[in-house]
Structure 1
């Protein structure tokens, strides 16, 4: 019998209160393990300034005007 099956059989012998406590503790354990192995969250602010050299010689208002004009055909 596998470890999982053995643990499941043991859990069946616990009271409902003990089973709930076991589930809660397992959830905490899993969350802690996921935090340790997961990638850190990224911020959208890390993209600030990315590609700014592309827009360096373009007038913003002129660009917007050209885009608006293209909508009208």
Structure 2
């Protein structure tokens, strides 16, 4: 019997299916709180993952900055 998938497995599957992910998506959809650590793990395995920094306004009208991670094949 196979155990449950690791956070890296879940993250890699998401990146392959959707191409990118943000910290909010990782927490809400995958239950991953420390996304940057899992991205570092995947990069150490040889995956090429780009970080793009984004800016937008939150629901309070405040400027927020966040990273979006993009998988390159």
- TM-score, normalised via structure 1 length: 0.21
Higher strand share: 2
Higher helix share: 1
Which structure's relative contact order is higher, taking Cα pairs within 8 Å and 6+ residues apart? 2
